[in-house]
Chain A
């Protein structure tokens, strides 16, 4: 089965040096369109929420970057800039991180189902976040830090488990990921059961993915990591393209396979760790968005990875807007919405191809 997939990707990958300029232009165009869409989404979703704000005045305040209060009352201004906008930006950072990580896993493992969740990295980060909440509840820095540690440890565990006598084959990696995921899931259930009742509830929401209860201190960290991570992964896109031909072929073509793999695992687990620390495990983003990008723009990672970064941000912003408005003033966890949108979309995409 894997062999046929590898053959398929061999057909799909078009890596011809002479067409470099075309690819570059195509990437730029896709990024320009998607970033414009992302900006528009940020502005438009800032205008909707459980509280109705005057649209004109809100636009005016947004376009002045919060320097002018326009016709908004202080409360409305606070709602827009202290609550709504930070949450939308966090949604963008989380979506971008998860989709970029998913896209690079899929390329590296030559497996269309590879995702932060499948490899147990999300669960590792979730366990790290839980440990932080249990032992250093009040300290906000401990959460992303321990989520990174958890994600890195999970990645390391998967990597070690996958390295058999014949080297780390993609199949072994995915299997190892499944084992690590289930093991960490039971750790999560165990910790949840041991915790006192007031926290159990917030934990279940935490694990479904929820953007509401996040300290603003985490926002700059999440954005910086999302942007930096996407750039590093996009810079490795050429190697990832060659890796899609198979590890031996890539090695023969001059790719330092081991180094690329470690870079991807480190950066992707940083991306996943920071997003899980901020919002819990938001599902389906790492699966749906890269596939959508690949189906519409082709499977060249130099385009797919930046497109997934923007597309993931867009996807989670829209999903979270639905989550916070559909039963307002109550709220849903965003993870429920991404799964609701993501699963049928994914089935449709599978049927179409």
Chain B
């Protein structure tokens, strides 16, 4: 086997399925023994060369660089023949994915919901312990939780694509996956339009364009109905309490700020930089919110079901306008965000929706 093919086919050679099977027949025996089936190809090449002739690290590097340049042309040829496409994700990264994807891992509950909603749930081979909707998502193999996924388990599941939500901030992790030649797609919605964009993108990647478009159409209609209903009402000043102790709220970049606006209200913290800022209690009181929204009662439990002590004298509490809304609908930028929008609008404008 030539060195060029060694570089380009390393996935096949050095990563046998599940890591448990013995080395593929075409791999040199001494490489397999040394690598345990998963060492990086450059290192392996170095070891190969070092064993065969005493070049030293520098010599090997020069050799490898030369081969890489020489192989570049070959590589692009293989890519086109394998039918690969390039998509830009929300982080501005160019992601190269195969045309047909059969094995997907989702690292966030909202992305799991989108994968199921566009009808690709049967291709989901891994998700997180937070992924509890729809019911079928619970039976998918768990790769850890959104904040601490297990790299080993992900690689063992041999995904073609891993879906990541920036909310979980997995930059280092993303690099590690890319290093293993696993495509990583990042979504980062800041408003309801962004959620629709995520659905559209995932639909396109998974080859479910029609279903994604249909879903977006339905969701758009429902959102538009809510917005039309509250259009002529006086916007209510809302404080969104993510947690009471310490006081966290939704800032400018949080997609729920957009939901609040669409529900016929204004978040008093809509201009605060960031997505989930820790907020000053006195500023929250001074903003005189007319209503307080508590995301609670969903999969995160009812931990956030009381208003912060500092807001007990706010007009919202005095007038009893404190609304508990299922946090799964408000915190996850997925298809059920529109449920959250409807629930919030009904709570904030009961008179409009009574008719």
A contacts, CB < 8 Å to B: 49-51, 75-76, 78-79, 82-84, 137, 193, 196-202, 205, 210, 212-216, 324, 328-333
B247→A49 contact, CB < 8 A: no
CB-contacts of B267-291 with A (<8 A): 269, 272-274, 277-283, 285-286, 288
Additional A-B contact list (11), CB under 8 Å, known A201-B243, A210-B246, A330-B274: A83-B285, A83-B310, A193-B148, A197-B147, A198-B301, A212-B246, A329-B279, A329-B280, A330-B272, A330-B273, A330-B279
B278→A331 contact, CB < 8 A: yes
B288→A75 contact, CB < 8 A: yes
B281→A83 contact, CB < 8 A: yes
The answer to whether A50 and B147 touch (CB under 8 A), given A197-B130, A213-B245, A213-B247, is no
Q: Kindly identify which residue among B272, B280, B303 contacts A137, using a CB–CB cutoff of 8 Å.
A: B303
A198→B303 contact, CB < 8 A: yes
A330→B277 contact, CB < 8 A: yes
Interface string of B292-303 (1 = CB under 8 A from A): 000000001101
Q: Kindly identify which residue among B130, B145, B278 contacts A330, using a CB–CB cutoff of 8 Å.
A: B278
Interface residues on B, range: 20 to 34
Q: List 29 A-B contacts (CB under 8 A).
A: A49-B280, A76-B286, A82-B285, A83-B285, A83-B310, A196-B300, A196-B303, A197-B130, A197-B145, A197-B146, A197-B147, A198-B243, A202-B243, A202-B245, A210-B246, A212-B246, A213-B246, A213-B308, A214-B245, A215-B245, A329-B283, A330-B273, A330-B277, A330-B278, A330-B279, A331-B278, A331-B279, A331-B280, A332-B278
| Complex: chain B residue closest to A217, CB-CB | B309
CA of A198 to CA of B285 in the docked complex: distance in angstroms?
A: 23
CA of A204 to CA of B264 in the docked complex: distance in angstroms?
A: 35
A216→B279 contact, CB < 8 A: no
**Residues on the B chain within 8 Å of A199, using CB:** 303
B300→A79 contact, CB < 8 A: no
Q: Describe B's contact surface by its main secondary structure.
A: loop
| Complex: chain B residue closest to A215, CB-CB | B309
Determine if B94 is an interface residue (Cβ-Cβ < 8 Å).
no
Minimum Cβ distance to chain B for residue A171 (Å): 38
B146→A205 contact, CB < 8 A: no
**Residues on the B chain within 8 Å of A137, using CB:** 303
**Residues on the A chain within 8 Å of B272, using CB:** 329-330
Minimum Cβ distance to chain A for residue B326 (Å): 14
Interface string of B303-345 (1 = CB under 8 A from A): 1100011100100000000000001000000000000000000
The answer to whether A216 and B309 touch (CB under 8 A), given A197-B300, A210-B246, is yes
Determine if B260 is an interface residue (Cβ-Cβ < 8 Å).
no
**Residues on the B chain within 8 Å of A78, using CB:** 285, 313
Determine if B137 is an interface residue (Cβ-Cβ < 8 Å).
no
| Complex: chain B residue closest to A331, CB-CB | B278
Minimum Cβ distance to chain A for residue B343 (Å): 19
**Residues on the B chain within 8 Å of A76, using CB:** 286
B277→A201 contact, CB < 8 A: no
Minimum Cβ distance to chain A for residue B67 (Å): 43
B247→A212 contact, CB < 8 A: yes
**Residues on the B chain within 8 Å of A200, using CB:** 147
Determine if B116 is an interface residue (Cβ-Cβ < 8 Å).
no
CB-contacts of B134-182 with A (<8 A): 145-148
The answer to whether A50 and B246 touch (CB under 8 A), given A82-B313, A196-B301, A197-B147, is no
